[in-house]
Chains A and B, each alone.
Chain A
Amino acid sequence: MMLSELQDLLDIYGADPTAWPPQLRGAAERLIVAEPLAREALEKATRLDLLLSRALRADLAAASVPESEAATGAINALAAFTLPRQGRRALAQVRPRPLFDLNLAPVWPRVAVLASVAALGFGIGLFGLDMNTLENLRGAAASTAVTDTDLSVVAFDPEPLTGVRP
């Protein structure tokens, strides 16, 4: 493990080794034993963790209204007026409950892909192939005309040298 990787580990999981992923812990501990800069990084991370926990607690203690008192105020404020009507969609009232509770979230990407492919197929069916077919028909008609002309020359025109008609 490199020193920068240890620093990332400390930043992500904190300075407590028990919180580190097991697969990284051994390498991190070996680096800390072997490398003075790694030990320094661990010490700084430990101090930062302590300071962060303490500062966030002290921050709240400094508030002029205690958290519990403010919470009581919020609850009382909500209790003081009639709660508004809850949001219920009309469709939700008539839908069968088991169907309503189905969790389709994991299927959505597949449904989206299927819908896209279906839309693409529909579009090609409507426009893409028709345009190509028209072009092909025009091309085929032109080539047929040339072929007909050539055939009539061979079949009905006189021989250029003898003038004999076939």
Chain B
Amino acid sequence: MDEASDEDLMARIAQGDERAFQLIARRYAARAVGLARRITRNQADADEIAQEALLRVWLSASRWRPVAAFRTWFYRIVLNLCLNRQRRAPMLPLPAAGDPPDLAPDPLARMQREEADRRLTTAIAALPDRQRAAIVLTYHEGLGNAETAAILETSVSAVETLLVRAKRTLRENLGAILDGPC
């Protein structure tokens, strides 16, 4: 059953198969945590959202129809939970943990990279929710505009507008960083 498609597993989950649910949870838990962390910028919230999203998969399996990919439906659940939570409580500007280790040999280059990453992370965090979601889905999940639109429950042209506005804001905030080496 490990090689079963998401759709087959969902059909089994709809019949109350807990083992199928464990399999799909193993497939998608890490993705849910990753997406939720990038959107909420809060580890504790992200972990809770991942659990809640998986639980909703279990509870709603009988109502799910394979008209779209399971991944699209699941990401939509995660994203909606993230956005709902952020409406209730504002996100944290930066993670509490320290910076990741950087193996660049040149200290100056390393400092420049860290500064660029820090400013970009802050700029992404300051974007409006849906613009940030479009950027995360495109650049971290590697999704196309059509699938991003399906997850955000909007049109492809609306996603394109979100991306244009988000990148315009990021360019303005990053300024000279985009002129130098990465």
Contact = CB atoms under 8 A, between A and B. Distances in A.
Contacts of A103: 65, 67
Q: Main secondary structure on chain B at its contact with chain A? A: helix
Interface residues on B, range: 35 or more
B33 A58 contact: no
B29 A83 contact: no
A88 B62 contact: yes
B164 interface: yes
Contact of A56 (B65, B136, B145, B178): B136
B100 A11 contact: no
B33 A74 contact: yes
Interface of B: 14, 16, 18, 21-22, 25-26, 29-30, 32-34, 37-38, 43, 46-47, 50-51, 54-55, 58-63, 65, 67, 95-100, 116-117, 120-121, 124, 135-136, 138-140, 145, 160, 163-164, 167-168, 170-171, 174, 177-179, 182
21 contacts: A51-B120, A51-B178, A51-B182, A56-B124, A58-B121, A63-B97, A65-B47, A70-B30, A70-B33, A70-B50, A71-B30, A74-B33, A75-B22, A75-B25, A78-B25, A78-B51, A78-B54, A79-B22, A84-B59, A86-B62, A87-B59
